Structures are given as structure tokens and as C-alpha cells.
Chains A and B, each alone.
Chain A
Amino acid sequence: MSIFSPRSLPEALEIANNHPTARLLAGGTDTMVEINFRHYEPTDIISLRHVRELQTFEQTGEVYRVGSAIPYREFENGSYAHISQALSEAARTVGSPQIRAAGTIGGNLGTCSPAGDTLPVLSALDAQIELASVNGTRVLSIHDFMLGVKRNARASNEIITAINFSKIDGYQGYAKVGVRNAMVISIASACLVHDPKNQRVAIALGAVGPTIIRCRESEAWLSDNTDLSTNSPISADITNEFARRVSAEARPITDHRSTAEYRKHAVGVLAQRLLKRAMQ
């Protein structure tokens, strides 16, 4: 049993390669709960706390590259709050200030829970996930990265280094349903991104399927029936039909947090609300 505290990315990758069963530890907000409740017995741990490369942010033209271990607080109201309104709104709904000071997007991706709050945002933004190993770096679309309930495409020697996505000019927002305001895991959530330049709306749903659902059919229907090059208000008939279609694309289950029926209804309401906010 060892805990490694690498001081650079190459060092971290070397350790990850030599210890394929080691667990990566970023903010620890998922992993420590598992350990405290004895759901997971740690053997080797690779702490990412001192790996500077994972804390960096870059902008190249219209593309942002966000280090995987930057805590939520920086997206909520800190240095990177301006890069994506939806990401900022999603970050603000996570846990509590203490959780947001520690928890990271890399950890949200690593856990890959269907209720992970940043995942619908990354899906609607068509984010690209950078995975590094001693063999080099590969970039995967978020849609190929998320495989199922708490399953993703990361290989055991890989570290998620960064998330890339493009700046978008139109409205973007995130909405979540939970039993109260602070500290709730989502019952249902939605992220909507309006990209007037490319005349499209993207909508992704959280907590209503084994992984995040992109509502491609509803998106296509909307662009066939609406002028998406502007944000002029659209008729109630259109928003209602859009909501109905989004709701039909959800594949929720009933569990201890809520019922499938309620979740299906809720994502329709969220879709309608977000579309109205986008088009006004």
C-alpha cells in the first residue's frame, strides 16, 4: 500500500502506468465517502493535488482548454466563471461551498454518475475529453467517453488531463430538480445551449438514463420548425411540443430519489423553461 504524491504530470503518468490498480484521487469528495463507508478499500492511491498541469487553463482562439483538477468554485464565481454560463450554473448547484472548493470536473467524469451535474453541460457543449498516458494523449468526444452508469472509457493507466470546448455566443443554461436548494443530488436535470451561428439548439439530460442523454431527435425537430439563427421568442405550441419530445427521449428509472414518471415530467418542464429563457 502506497500513496503517491507526484509533482508533475509525467511523474503521475509513470506511476499510473506502473500501478494499474491504483486509484486516482483529486478532490476526494466521491472517493472519501466510499472509503469512510467501507464501500471501497484503498490499496494504492495517486494523489493529483500537487500536479500543477491539471490546474491550468488556456484559451486558443474560440476554444477553451480546462484543466481537469480545477475545483468547481473557479467555475461558479471564480476565475473561469465567464467561459460557460451553463457550467457556472451547474457548478453552483454542486453540494456546498466546502464541496465546491474541493470537487473537480475530472472527478465528476471519473465517477460518471448519471446525476453528475457537469456532465449534461459537457454533453450539450460537445466537449472533448483529453486522456493522457505514458504512450501519449488521446482526445475522446464526451459522447464516447461516457459508457453507462459509473462507467467510462478511461484505461487504467490514463489520467483525464483536460476538457476542451468551444465558446458559444447564444444562451446556455442548466436547470436541476432536487428536494431543496443546497446539497442535493439531482433528481432530473437539463442543459440547453443555443448556438445561433450554427442555427441549432443542443439539449442534454441528467439523471434520467444510464448516462447523459442528448436529445438529438428533439433538437432536429426544433431546427426544422424554428428559425434558430436569432433568439426571437417562439410560440407556446413550439415550446410545448419541444418539451413533449424531450420528455419522450428520457429513459428514467424509479429509485430512492424519485419515480420514473416524475422524472419524465420534470425534464419536459426543464426543457420548456430553458428554451423560453433562450428565446426572448
Chain B
Amino acid sequence: MSTSPEMYSLRVNGTEQHVKDAWIGESLLYVLRERLGFMGAKGACEQGECGSCTVLINNDAVCSCLVMAASAIDTDITTVEGLATTETPNDIQQAFVTEGAVQCGFCTPGLIVAVHHLLETNSSPSEIEVKEALSGNICRCTGYGRIFSAVQLVISQREKSVS
């Protein structure tokens, strides 16, 4: 099957999105932000080093800057916008605010997606598992301590709500 790189559609947060007049080499990060208006994923390095562009593809957390957009047809793409609404943040986002894990906020959307993915696959990760799971997300502001506290807060809140 051949897709014209100029015109194809992507399923983002459950909705088909049509991409027009695109260039073949465009990354998913670029298409999400510049063509489809999803500004959640951020671009800082465009070489897979910082994780600020993290999205889910078929429930795997990947760097959207390293995904060729036109190759992501027929996959389920989830961005941070798909995890909650602006009016009602989810528990991970709320915990980041409560714990002061957001300073400039540039790394935050990528981290929210990475933490969401971690807790979907492992609901009670150890400290080292949390660190490893977030090792692909760079934060230049917080020093990570508050980010780890936010993750611990979500874990304990979820444990309480189950028991």
C-alpha cells in the first residue's frame, strides 16, 4: 500500500485527523504541532534525547520527533491532550501541581505521558523503576526531586482509592 506523503490521515486521541500538503520527512512531532494544532508535545532536541515530545503510539511511549508522521497511519496516537481536559486535569497532572513539579513546564507534557505509561504497565513501581522509566525525559529546572514526589503521590492516592 502506498500513501501519498502529501495527504494521509492519522488517528489522534481517537479522532481521524487529515493531513494535507505535507512533506515526506515530517516528524509526527511537527505534524501534531504545526499541522494539527496539538501543542502538548514539545520539541527541544529533535534527536530523541530529551523526551519532551513523548506521545503514545499503540500504548507505547515513544519520541514523536523520531516517528515519521506518514508512517504512523493506522496506529492509535495519544498525546497529553488525550489524557485529560484543560478544565479537569487528571490525577498525574494534579499531583505535579500539588508537589511543585512544574517550573517552566516545558518538560511537563512529555513527563505526564511517560508517567501515565509507566503506571499503566506497572501500578506500584519501585523508586528505581520510576527513575529508569523517566530516564528518557530531561528536566532542566526541578532537579527531579519534586517530579519523583509527584509520582509517589499518584501511586499512594491510587492505592488508597483501590483499598
Contacts and interface: CB of A to CB of B under 8 A. Distances in A.
Interface of A: 1-7, 11, 15, 25, 27-29, 31-33, 35-37, 41-43, 45, 47, 49-50, 71, 73, 95-99, 101-102, 181-183
Contact of B63 (A3, A15, A42, A102): A102
Contacts of A42: 24-25
B2 interface: yes
Given A28-B71, A32-B66, A43-B24, 12 more contacts: A2-B4, A3-B68, A15-B2, A45-B5, A47-B68, A95-B48, A95-B136, A96-B51, A98-B54, A99-B48, A102-B67, A183-B49
B104 interface: no
- Counting chain B CB atoms within 10 Å of each CB, the highest count among A11, A95, A181 belongs to A95
A3 B132 contact: no
Contacts of B92: none
Interface in B38-80: 46-49, 51, 54, 60-63, 65-68, 70-75
- Counting chain B CB atoms within 10 Å of each CB, the highest count among A7, A43, A47 belongs to A47
B133 interface: yes
A144 to B, nearest CB: 30
- Counting chain A CB atoms within 10 Å of each CB, the highest count among B51, B63, B66, B75 belongs to B66
Nearest to A96: B136
A28 B3 contact: no
Contact of A4 (B1, B72, B74, B137): B1
Contacts of A101: 60-62
A217 B111 CA distance: 48
Sort A-B residue pairs by CB-CB distance and give the 3 closest, nearest first. Answer: A96-B136, A47-B71, A182-B135
A28 B62 CA distance: 11
A25 B71 contact: yes
A98 B62 contact: yes
11 contacts: A2-B2, A3-B3, A4-B3, A6-B1, A95-B48, A95-B136, A96-B48, A97-B132, A97-B135, A98-B61, A182-B135
Contact of B47 (A27, A36, A49): A36
B14 to A, nearest CB: 20
Contact of A97 (B49, B61, B66): B61
Interface string B100-141: 000000000000001000000000000000001101110000
A22 B66 CA distance: 18
A1 B60 contact: no
B27 interface: yes
A99 B65 CA distance: 11
Nearest to B135: A182
Contacts of A7: 1
B97 to A, nearest CB: 24
Given A3-B2, A4-B1, A49 B75 contact: yes
A176 to B, nearest CB: 15
A83 B72 CA distance: 30
Contacts of A5: 1-3, 71, 73-74
Contacts of B48: 29, 32-33, 95-96, 98-99
A4 B4 CA distance: 8
B136 A97 contact: yes
Contact of B136 (A6, A25, A47, A183): A183
Nearest to A30: B66
A211 B152 CA distance: 44
A99 B75 CA distance: 18
Contact of A182 (B25, B46, B136): B136
Contacts of A99: 48, 63, 66, 136
B70 A3 contact: yes
A133 B25 CA distance: 26
A113 to B, nearest CB: 15
Contact of B25 (A2, A41, A102): A41
A210 B133 CA distance: 33
A98 B67 contact: no
A98 B47 CA distance: 12
B156 to A, nearest CB: 23
